A and B are shown apart, each in its own frame.
Chain A
Amino acid sequence: MKALVVERNLPRFAAARVASLLGSGRGAGIGPLQLLDAGAPDRPGDDWYPLRPLLSGICGSDLATLDGRTSRYFEDLVSFPFVPGHEVVGVLDDGGTDFAGRPLAPGTRAVIEPVLGCATRHIQPPCPRCGSGHTGLCGNLTSGDLEPGLQTGFCTDTGGGWSTAPLMAHASQLHAVPDALSDQDAVMIEPTACAVHAALSAGVADGDVVAVVGAGTLGLATVAALDSLVRPTAPCTVVVGAKHARQRELADELGADHVVPPDQLVRAVRRQSGSTVLAGRLAEGADVVFDCVGSAASLTEALSMVRARGRVVLVGMPGKVSVDLAPLWHRELTLVGAYAYGNETPPGPDGSERRSFELAVDLVGTAGLGRLVSALYPLERYEEALAHAGAAGRRGAVKVAFDLRNPKGRSR
């Protein structure tokens, strides 16, 4: 069995950073990632189960890590060596138990909620955030029975999805995949859960103008989440800035009202909000802006198009960026992050809480988000896969994933 492994090797990280100047993912061959023989990691406890990956996605945060561009903030939240891959659908060959304590039969397909919170670390009592179900905000990511690691795919003890060997999944992480969902659908559940969490935490109100900056995986999933989970109770106008033609098509299909190239987004938001312009920014622009890119440019743009006292939600993972925060202060804006997932209270009559992942499982099926999976690669062709993922939009793709099902490998 094989696995892609990231080791702490500063010269290789430096080489990857230089190579990434040619394009994200271009440094895979000289960076810290290596394809090695591997077996399943040891079970950290009886409540952990081997999950044999079927598909595992390549996320923007994976690329940032491999490009050596990740914020140093995360340095203490990972443990080396680790196998990347936190967007995973796999098979529980020996069965297991799911997040709600329900038994899962051998052969069950499952996805993992990769956050390694208190339950996975056997910490009792759990931290207040985990105690309230918001595991993404866990304060014990470096403690307990596991080595540090904010998620599966960044922790040396659990393994990760970029492997033909099983990873270890804690019962609290496991969600069974309905038979109706394909593997492609299932591998989209994790990023969709992030989008669900962002959409539901943004406080979108009836009649709002909502802007989405960026139409990669997170941007498109956010559009879908807004359309399915927010709009039924808070009808809103969704304007999307999408750089590439395929992204524009998908954003339109997933429910955006207006899809425009990025350089037209501010003007489109201005038109929709009927705003005037103040000091080069919209005076009364979008009520909520989702920044699904996470760069200095996207954040600056988001701050320029949100209305006074409006909300900018950071969905894409930012790094160390330089942004003029004068408008944030002057316009009394709210800048808020939306990381991972937790318990959500979707709008509706019953008001009951559900996991972001549960909602994402439903949404992936109803919105057909499996179509966002554009290309599958075997592990052996990881350099091509990462280069493809790094240039996904330009190459007409959205989500690129590893296909661990066929040892011969294939791609499409």
Chain B
Amino acid sequence: MSPRPGFVLDVDSSTPPTLFWQGERFTLEKLPEGSRVVYAPEPVDPLTDPQAAIRHALLHPLGDQEPLPALLRAGMKLTIAFDDISLPLPPMERPDIRQLVIEQVLDLAAEAGVDDVELIVALALHRRMTEPELRHAIGDRIYDAFAPNGLLTQHDAEDPANLVHLGQTDLGEDVEINRRAAESDLLVYVNINLVAMDGGHKSVATGLASYRSLRHHHNPETMRKSRSFMDQHRSELHSANWRMGRLIRDSGVKVFQIETTLNNDTFPGAFQFLQKREWEWKAKDRLAYVAASSALDRVPPRHARRIFHSVKAPHRMTSVQAGEVEAVHAVTTENVWAQQGVVVEGQTDILTMGLPYISPYNVNSILNPILVACLGLGYFFNLYRGKPLVREGGVVIMTHPTPWEFNPVHHPSYIDFFEQVLSETTDPNVMSERFEAGFATDPWYVHLYRTGHAYHGVHPFYMWYWCAHALAHLGAVVIVGGDPKAVHRLGFRAASTMADALEMARDVVGTSPTLTHLHTPPILMADVQ
């Protein structure tokens, strides 16, 4: 039986309560009659033979590109770059797609006699991955073959000796990327395209770039003009990356892009109820909900966090395509939409969303208040094509505990950003002008980024810029169940219950508002008509 497409439920008196994520917990909320709930499509069927599909993609590339074996020769310099810990979410069960793809690329390289091969984690300004995380992503065999010899490196956007400036785009944007990648005879990029924003020219132009380069598109202006950045044709973020990607190509950097898509089979056995529609819950699902909820309510948040971060998703590969960047990405994007797209008629006054424990930037870490804002207003708000799900001047209600808590190893500059920047301004433009440069060049943050496992000093700014479109669009943001002090520092309103939040929202949008709930994860993309 074919998987069912996405669905918009009209809530009536017989509709059971709706599941809301609340960080490491979840609740059931009875939504007002007449509300809508947008559900993701069911997981599409995975590839029956992923290995064969990968092989086929490498041998039958898309666009103006030769098959991979024809590009490989003895004596050449080959670099394989791949996406970092931020993808997929949650991390997938072994074997990870990156391992499957890279193993085949390495097999072909070995057959061709290529012996100068290096692997680079395309970190951009993200934190360096730990050894266990790397082993999970690429497998023990690859890790043991490359890491001990220094042939597996993590991109360092602050190492001038290992960066090369390729020039400026027509709009004066600096393009500066990893030297090894730029100076290789062939750069193979291995991507996991979890959402429509990922991949394409963004893989290299962002993943292997320096701050000098990234600042041209990771800024409030670009983010405000990306409507949404999940829709590459209406995204200034993508336009900038495409300009840069073409400059990289025209500079002579030969990129062989390998993109993969996943189905949205997000949670394993005991948590399967999280991706089902509530009225279809069977006794087993209800029992699982009660058991999980009561267990999570009893354990301290840090233990609940550990439990969830140990969850590995049963994602399965639904497509793999390789070849020329733009041709590959066009197909990839179609496949992402085929899994995640849901047609929604019209906008809503109030958009509700339950925020889970994880975002791209807190794998094995804490979803701190800035990341809460980014997950809700940066990611979930932007899961649309056409128009935002919520109308201009509308209200977003998010559920999350939003603790005033940070991981000092992963997010040191976030702490200072929260304490010092957000206490003065929540305006992306103001903070960009007054504070960004200081954080971006702070030697301590640079040191921690380069040698520890810290996100770059400027990263919290980017997370806030990610919210810029939503902040400009919305009339109010309410967080249910959040630490009031932390919520107020974000500039949002705190409510203790959904009923209170709805009352607050009515003050903004009127007494008879329309309400839509974004039932994610699993991830969905709203095609708002």
Chain A residues within 8 Å of B, Cβ to Cβ = 258, 260, 264, 267-268, 270-271, 274-277
- Interchain CA distance A15-B442 in the complex, whole Å: 52
Give Cα A3 to B296, complex, Å: 62
Residues in B whose Cβ lies below 8 Å from that of A258? 420
Asked whether, in the complex, the Cβ of A271 is within 8 Å of the Cβ of B415, the reply is no
Grouping DSSP codes into helix (H, G, I), strand (E, B) and loop, the B interface class, with mixed when no group exceeds half, is helix
User: Distance in Å from the Cβ of A247 to the closest Cβ of chain B?
Assistant: 15
The 10 closest A-B pairs by CB, nearest first: A276-B444, A264-B419, A271-B416, A267-B416, A276-B443, A276-B447, A277-B444, A274-B442, A271-B420, A274-B443
Q: How far is the CA of A264 from the CA of B420 in the complex (A)?
A: 9
Taking a contact as CB atoms under 8 Å apart, the answer to whether A260 and B419 are in contact is: yes
Residue B438 CB within 8 A of the other chain: yes
Does B444 lie within 8 Å of A270, measured CB to CB?
yes
Contact of A268 with B444 in the complex, beta carbons under 8 Å: no
A268 touches B419 (CB 8 A): yes
List of B residues within 8 angstroms of A268 by Cβ: 416, 419-420
CA distance A276 to B444 in the complex (A): 5
Contact digits for B434-445, partner A, Cβ 8 Å, 1 yes 0 no:
000010001110
Interface residues of B in 155-203 (CB under 8 A from A): none
Q: Are B444's CB and A260's CB within 8 A?
A: no
CB distance from A89 to the nearest CB of B (A): 38
Instruction: Give Cα A267 to B415, complex, Å.
Output: 9
- Complexed CA–CA distance, A275 and B416 (Å): 13
Q: Kindly provide the distance from the CB of B454 to the nearest chain A CB, expressed in whole angstroms.
A: 12
Select one of B420, B438, B442 contacting A260, CB under 8 A. B420
Q: Are A275 and B444 in contact (CB under 8 A)?
A: yes
| Residue in chain A with minimal CB distance to B435 | A271
Residues of A within 8 A of B416 (CB): 267-268, 270-271
Cα of A274 to Cα of B419 in the assembled complex, Å? 16
Name the CB-closest residue of B to A259.
Answer: B423
Chain B residues positioned under 8 Å from A270 (CB to CB) = 416, 444
A270 and chain B: residue at smallest CB distance: B444
Interface residues of B in 209-228 (CB under 8 A from A): none
- Kindly list 17 other residue pairs between chains A and B, CB separation below 8 angstroms, not including A267-B419, A267-B420: A258-B420, A260-B419, A260-B420, A264-B419, A267-B415, A268-B416, A268-B419, A268-B420, A270-B416, A271-B416, A271-B420, A274-B443, A275-B444, A276-B443, A276-B444, A276-B447, A277-B444
List residues of chain B with CB under 8 Å of any chain A CB: 415-416, 419-420, 438, 442-444, 447
Nearest-Cβ distance from residue A305 to partner chain B, whole angstroms: 13
**Which residue in A264, A267, A271, A277 is a CB contact (below 8 Å) of B438?**
A271
Query: Residue of A at shortest CB range from B415?
Result: A267
Name the residue in B416, B442, B443, B444 with the highest tally of chain A Cβ atoms < 10 Å from its Cβ.
B444
User: Whole-angstrom distance from the CB of B513 to the nearest CB of chain A?
Assistant: 35
Complex Cα–Cα for A55 and B213 (A): 64
Within the complex, the shortest CB–CB distance from A277 to chain B, in Å, comes to: 6
Chain A neighbourhood of B447, CB < 8 A: 276
B34 to chain A, nearest CB (A): 43
> Chain A residue with minimal CB distance to B423?
A260
Q: Which residue of A lies closest to B439 (CB)?
A: A271
> A270 vs B413: C-alpha distance in the bound complex, in angstroms?
11
CA distance A212 to B442 in the complex (A): 23
Task: Report Cα–Cα, A275/B438, bound state, in Å.
Answer: 12
- A275 and B443 CA atoms in complex are apart in Å by 7
Please name all residues of chain B whose beta carbon is closer than 8 Å to the beta carbon of A277 when the two chains form the complex.
444
How many Å lie between the Cα of A271 and that of B435 in the bound state? 11
A267 contacts across to B, CB distance below 8 A: 415-416, 419-420
Shortest CB-to-CB span from B440 to chain A, Å, is 12
Smallest CB separation, A278 vs chain B (Å): 10
Min CB distance, A263 to chain B, in Å?
9
Measured between alpha carbons, how far is A374 from B416 in the docked complex, in Å? 33
Q: Could you jot down 18 A-B contacts, CB within 8 Å?
A: A258-B420, A267-B415, A267-B416, A267-B419, A267-B420, A268-B416, A268-B419, A268-B420, A271-B416, A271-B420, A271-B438, A271-B442, A274-B442, A274-B443, A274-B444, A275-B444, A276-B444, A277-B444
Please name the residue on chain B nearest to A276 by beta carbon.
B444
Give CA–CA (A274, B413) in the complex, Å: 12
Q: Please, which residues of chain B bring their CB within 8 A of the CB of A276?
A: 443-444, 447
Distance A175 CA – B420 CA, assembled complex (angstroms): 43
Q: Given the complex, which residues of B lie within 8 Å of A274, measured CB to CB?
A: 442-444
For B443, the chain A residues whose CB sits under 8 A away are 274, 276
A57 to B419, CA, bound (A): 35
- Complex formed: what's the CA distance from A277 to B416 in Å? 14
User: What distance in Å separates the Cβ of A352 from its nearest Cβ neighbour in chain B?
Assistant: 40
Contacts of B444 in A (CB 8 A): 270, 274-277
Looking at the assembled complex, report how far the CB atom of A237 sits from the nearest CB atom of chain B, in whole angstroms: 12
Of chain B, the residue at the smallest CB distance from A263 is: B419
A190 to chain B, nearest CB (A): 34
Residue of A nearest to B441 (CB): A274
The answer for the CA separation of A274 and B443 in the assembled complex, in Å, is 7
Hey, which chain B residues are within 8 Å of A275, CB to CB? Answer: 444
Complex-state Cα separation, A268 to B438, whole angstroms: 13
A264 smallest CB distance to B (angstroms): 5
Q: How far is the CA of A333 from the CA of B278 in the complex (A)?
A: 65
Q: How far is the CA of A258 from the CA of B419 in the complex (A)?
A: 11
Give min CB distance, B202 to chain A, whole Å.
31
Complexed CA–CA distance, A268 and B435 (Å)? 13
Closest Cβ–Cβ distance, residue A242 to chain B (whole Å): 13
Report the minimum CB–CB distance from A210 to chain B (whole Å): 17
Most B Cβ at <10 Å: residue of A258, A268, A271, A274: A271
A240 vs chain B, min Cβ distance (A): 13
- With A and B bound together, what is the CA distance between A268 and B447 in angstroms? 18
In the assembled complex, the Cα of A41 lies from the Cα of B61 at a distance in Å of 103
CA distance A354 to B419 in the complex (A): 41
Chain A nearest Cβ from B366, distance in angstroms: 17
Report chain A residues within 8 Å CB of B442.
271, 274
**Distance (Å) between the CB of B442 and the closest chain A CB?**
6
Q: Which B residue's beta carbon lies closest to that of A260?
A: B419
Residues of chain A contacted by B419 (CB below 8 angstroms) = 260, 264, 267-268
- Complex: A277 Cα to B409 Cα, angstroms: 13
Per the bound structure, the CA–CA distance linking A264 and B419 in Å amounts to 7
How far, in angstroms, from A270 to B420 measured CA to CA in the complex?
12
Q: Report A93 CB to chain B, min CB distance, Å.
A: 51
A276 to B450, CA, bound (A): 13
Q: Which residue of A lies closest to B421 (CB)?
A: A271
Minimum distance in angstroms from A166 CB to a CB of chain B: 49
Minimum distance in angstroms from A170 CB to a CB of chain B: 49
User: In the assembled complex, how far is the CB of residue A249 from the closest CB belonging to chain B, in whole angstroms?
Assistant: 13
Closest Cβ of chain B: how far from A287's Cβ, in Å?
Answer: 17
A271–B420 Cα distance when bound, in Å, is: 9
A277 to B446, CA, bound (A): 12
